[in-house]
Structure 1
Amino acid sequence: MPSSGGSGNRLDAEKDGRFNGAGTGGGRSSCGAAPPRGSTQDAQTMSPPRNRTDGPAKAEGFAGQVMHVIPRPLLARAARHLLVRPLFVTDIGWYPRARYHYKERPAGAGQHILLLCVGGAGWVEVRGRRETVRAGEAVLVPKGAPHAYGADTGRPWSIHWVHFDGDDAAAYLRRLPEGTARLAVAPATRRRLVRIFRDAYGALRRGYAEDRLIYLSHAVRHLLGLLVYDNPAYAPQARALEPHDVAGWLDFLAAHVDRPLRVAEMARHACLSVPHFAAVFRRRTGLPPLEYHIHLRIQEACRLLDTTPLAIREVAARVGYEDAYYFSRVFRQVTGVSPRGYRRRRA
């Protein structure tokens, strides 16, 4: 089925997007650094109070907008596909300079929502907490959460947006710190996100065939992965709200791949008791501390096997294994192949 290049169907999904359809200007706006969370420059100084605007409130219908509402019968069919069911897009688009943009859902939406602000400003209110959204920030609204959002009246935002759902979707939302819907986005990450949105719009110009919807599922997974796992601007925020410096712990482990570490030594570095350290470490990384460190040492061994002519016993010594046979056994447990087999396969 062909896409709706202009106003499109009016569905109670997000109708917010960025891209003018001609491939110009998307995401090239100059975005300043976002202020820290909890800043006193929050939304009170920005847009009008909830349920009111200074002009005709609009959910969609902005000049140059792009909006794709996937027909629900096609979506239901595609969602049975193994590559679509875990994470899929229901609606996606772009609203440039969306003056008077406003949307309120007291009962929440039927999907999770991602907004990416690339110009201007706006605000979002989720479960009664209101925050300013500036260029260079993203918003994640959980499925079913009461919310409202809108453009700043003086400097209306330009936003890409996508509605998504699926069994894997909630895992990305859990990466949000408590009490906020906003994430800062590093400039390089923002440019990559905008490219993915643009590619998605281009793919959907050719219709909503199943292969397009499979592609879209991979695109939204890439969007979310970049946003919460490969976004340098977000990591400091997460660390600021995390009482433990887990990133510092990982740096400590990575700096000592040349020798084994005891958990007591790691806990001492973290200024925590061994049980507390081990519990927090496993919760945040998914692995016990010793196993994580072994993986780092074997990762370094792989690098040495790939990039140097060192003998196996020398590689073992470089990563803290005096016994080359024991090293080979651990290497095989982690990688599924012996060091010699690994080098031969890579060659």
Structure 2
Amino acid sequence: MHIEVGFPGERIVVIPQPFLDLIKDDPLTGDLYIQSLGQIAHARHHLIDRPGGCEAYTFIYCTWGAGYVAINGLKFALRANQYIVLPKGVPYSYGADENDPWSIYWVRFDGEKGKIYARIMSSPTTVLPSVYSRIEQRLDIFENAYAVLCGELSLERLNYANIAFAHFIASFLFVDLLQTSGDQPSHAEGMINRITHYMNENAERRLTLKDMARYAGYSESYFYRQFVRQTSMSPIDYFIRVKINKASIYLIKTSMTISQIAAKLGFGSADYFSRTFRRIVGISASEFRKQDFRL
């Protein structure tokens, strides 16, 4: 079974053709403009097959799991923390690994600059998580562009989203500059600070105790004991609370549905997310949203 769209919690925005005709001639962002964008999580059986190619370039960023990309007969594995830009006008396909289905952010875009990005980002490239990786900041840029395009479209909104996308893709192309810009994070020292930062940066993933211990550089048993000693809770319990904290922000600040938030944060199902949210917060996610900032 192969599925192209319709995954639980899937998000997608498609720019109508009249707006594309308007923006492609705009002097501000006509050289790099979004046609559509979206996000899917743990997308089992996901497959996109374009034997005739596509009239736009496609940027794919895998945040979890694994999949593959085949371009004109040449096949690449695409795993967590890797990205690629697919060329236009060339046969391609991409899909999720059957045993470890991926979570991806994707953007279809066009413009004169598109062929430059397609050339220099033509193979899977890795952005490893670290205290300087700023994964959360990068994804916030995507979310900002997505939110703007979900509103009533206008030339101003399109230009803003396109400029945000240019920033988003530059954060991959010039990752060292993004990592070193601004003040160095104060959480860079100390095992607990480093691992809690790692949790925040990877809240959309399904981190295991093994993942966390490996990142911290300790055995699972030693890492677990040290974490509980300093936080009075297990690493997994803490990580779930990180997810719920982010979910609370999404409930208040975005129009994402509960199902979309659950999928984005890797809860597996909306029911499991709802039960977990109520257990930790004390009220349902829908009631929390109604309370706004009065809670």
Using structure 2 for the length normalisation, give the TM-score.
Answer: 0.56
Question: What CA RMSD, in Å, does the superposition of the two structures yield over aligned residues?
Answer: 1.8
1:210 aligns with 2:155: yes
> In the alignment, residue 106 of structure 1 is paired with which amino acid?
P
> In the alignment, residue 110 of structure 2 is paired with which amino acid?
D
Q: Among 28, 33, 51, which residue is 1:88 paired with? A: 33
Between structure 1 and structure 2, the one with the greater Rg is 1
> In the alignment, residue 125 of structure 2 is paired with which amino acid?
L
2:23–2:33: 8 Å Cα contact kept in structure 1? no
Equivalences for 1:219-234 in 2 at 5 Å?
219-231=164-176
> In the alignment, residue 108 of structure 1 is paired with which amino acid?
G
> In the alignment, residue 152 of structure 2 is paired with which amino acid?
G
* Partner Cα separation in structure 2 for residue 146 and residue 190 of structure 1: 31
- Aligned partner of residue 174 in structure 1, secondary structure: helix
1:186 aligns with 2:128: yes
Q: Deviations over 1:295-346 (max 9, x none)?
A: xxxxxxxxxxxxxxxxxxxxxxxxxxxxxxxxxxxxxxxxxxxxxxxxxxxx
2:65–2:80: 8 Å Cα contact kept in structure 1? yes
Structure 2 match to 1:27: none
Identity of aligned residues (%): 32
1:83–1:217: 8 Å Cα contact kept in structure 2? no
* Partner Cα separation in structure 2 for residue 166 and residue 65 of structure 1: 26
Q: Deviations over 1:186-227 (max 9, x none)?
A: 331543331111111211221222111101210221122121
- Aligned partner of residue 120 in structure 2, secondary structure: coil
2:37–2:108: 8 Å Cα contact kept in structure 1? yes
2:146–2:161: 8 Å Cα contact kept in structure 1? no
Q: CA deviation at 1:173?
A: 2.3
Q: CA deviation at 1:145?
A: 2.0
Structure 2 match to 1:168: 113
1:189–1:230: 8 Å Cα contact kept in structure 2? no
Structure 2 match to 1:128: 73
Structure 1 match to 2:143: 198
* Partner Cα separation in structure 2 for residue 205 and residue 113 of structure 1: 20
Q: CA deviation at 1:231?
A: 4.6
Change (3 A) 1:181 1:72: same
* Partner Cα separation in structure 2 for residue 120 and residue 148 of structure 1: 18
* Partner Cα separation in structure 2 for residue 141 and residue 190 of structure 1: 22
> In the alignment, residue 112 of structure 1 is paired with which amino acid?
Y
Q: Deviations over 1:65-90 (max 9, x none)?
A: 11001001112112222112111000
Structure 1 match to 2:16: 71
Q: CA deviation at 1:232?
A: 7.9
Q: CA deviation at 1:143?
A: 1.2
* Partner Cα separation in structure 1 for residue 39 and residue 77 of structure 2: 19
Change (3 A) 1:231 1:162: farther
Q: Among 142, 146, 153, which residue is 2:91 paired with? A: 146
1:186–1:232: 8 Å Cα contact kept in structure 2? no
Q: CA deviation at 1:165?
A: 0.7
Structure 1 match to 2:60: 115
> In the alignment, residue 185 of structure 1 is paired with which amino acid?
V
> In the alignment, residue 149 of structure 2 is paired with which amino acid?
L
* Partner Cα separation in structure 2 for residue 161 and residue 130 of structure 1: 18
Equivalences for 1:31-110 in 2 at 5 Å?
56-110=1-55
Number of positions where the alignment pairs a residue of Structure 1 with one of Structure 2: 175
* Partner Cα separation in structure 2 for residue 192 and residue 128 of structure 1: 35
Which contiguous aligned blocks of 4+ residues in structure 1 show a shift greater than 6 angstroms? none
Change (3 A) 1:231 1:74: same
1:126–1:147: 8 Å Cα contact kept in structure 2? yes
* Partner Cα separation in structure 2 for residue 200 and residue 69 of structure 1: 13
Q: CA deviation at 1:109?
A: 1.0
- Aligned partner of residue 90 in structure 1, secondary structure: strand
Q: Deviations over 1:11-50 (max 9, x none)?
A: xxxxxxxxxxxxxxxxxxxxxxxxxxxxxxxxxxxxxxxx
* Partner Cα separation in structure 2 for residue 205 and residue 110 of structure 1: 23
Q: CA deviation at 1:135?
A: 0.7
* Partner Cα separation in structure 2 for residue 196 and residue 211 of structure 1: 17
